[in-house]
Structure 1
Amino acid sequence: MATKYRISEIAEKTGVTSDAIRYYERLGVLPRPARTAGGLRTYGDGLLPRVRFIQQAQAMGLTLKDVKELVANEGRSGQQRCRRVRDLLKSRLADVDARLKEMHAFRRTLRIHLQDCEHALEQEQPVCPVMSELGASRQ
């Protein structure tokens, strides 16, 4: 006979909050659970790997919308699913590359501001050049 879990037990076993599990259900990322006569949710063993999959997918940068799409494709062939996963990962990789480019540009700006501050301190200037550039009053 299959083991039945309450939502708190699923939360404890996966490290995901009960609220998150309910949210995943509302989004359709997790299936609606069976309920006891008293209305309590009950889950089978199959939910544990599904919740762990959601955690891993999010750690890889996939959104819950992406995960929902992957879950919706469960009936498709392995090749079809693999193509969709590949496409999602390519898209996320492009997002990461774009963010890295932005971060590198910001890093260069920070280095320039740091050099400006170092120079101002060495010269004992009364005004911080970075704050002046930002339009702030004397700081």
Structure 2
Amino acid sequence: MKRRFPASELLIGEVAARAGVSVDTIRYYERRRLLPPAARTTGGFRLFKSDVIARVRFIKQAQSIGFSLEEIAALFSSKDSISECQKMRDLLQVKIKELDERIAELRRMRRLLHRYLDECERELRRHGKVAECPVVDEISHTKEGKG
């Protein structure tokens, strides 16, 4: 197939392949306005500038470290006077705080699970195969109190 457009412009499949994502991902990012609107060939095929590849890779990397597409879109927005670095710093501070909160919650959950395990082991030592699980009873009562 002979190219009928500049080599600096890429079809959607070329962008997807070079960025390591699916064509559907490129379309989705375009719909979400994470990518600039693509020009079209006379046949209706999307034509992207080659710098879109770096942008798609950035989006995927940002997602992999916990950023939502909304947060990524906010980084791309240029409607305010905040610098790109300030936006990133602010977003990183929020992400670190969220992560710290999740870690604290996971630690609380781990302590609770250890407590439950200790209760089960004590009951099993006392009553063996006929043990009545104190954890099942406690969880059942907890649900009743909250429901």
Same fold flag (TM > 0.5)? yes
Structure 1 residue 91 displacement after superposition: 0.9
Q: 1-side partners of 2:13 and 2:121: how far apart?
A: 54
Note the residue ranges of structure 2 that are not aligned, 5 or more in a row.
1-5, 142-147
Amino acid of the structure 2 residue aligned with 1:100: I
Mark the structure with the bigger radius of gyration.
2
Note the residue ranges of structure 1 that are not aligned, 5 or more in a row.
none
Structure 1 residue 132 displacement after superposition: 1.6
TM score, norm. by length of structure 2: 0.79
Amino acid of the structure 2 residue aligned with 1:34: A
**Sequence identity of aligned pairs in percent?**
38
Which of 4, 16, 19 is residue 21 of structure 2 equivalent to?
16
Amino acid of the structure 2 residue aligned with 1:96: L
Which of 94, 99, 112 is residue 102 of structure 2 equivalent to?
99
1:82-108 deviations in whole A, cap 9, x for unaligned?
A: 111111110111111111111111111
Q: 1-side partners of 2:79 and 2:64: how far apart?
A: 20
**How many pairs are equivalent?**
134
Q: Pairwise CA RMSD of aligned residues?
A: 2.2
TM score, norm. by length of structure 1: 0.83
Which of 71, 90, 93 is residue 93 of structure 2 equivalent to?
90
Q: 1-side partners of 2:26 and 2:56: how far apart?
A: 8
Which of 6, 10, 26 is residue 11 of structure 2 equivalent to?
6
Cα separation, partners in 2 of 1:108 and 1:42, compared to 1, 3 Å = same
Alignment partner, residue 34 of structure 1: 39
Q: Structure 1 stretches (4+) deviating beyond 4 angstroms?
A: none
**Are positions 1:43 and 2:56 aligned together?**
no
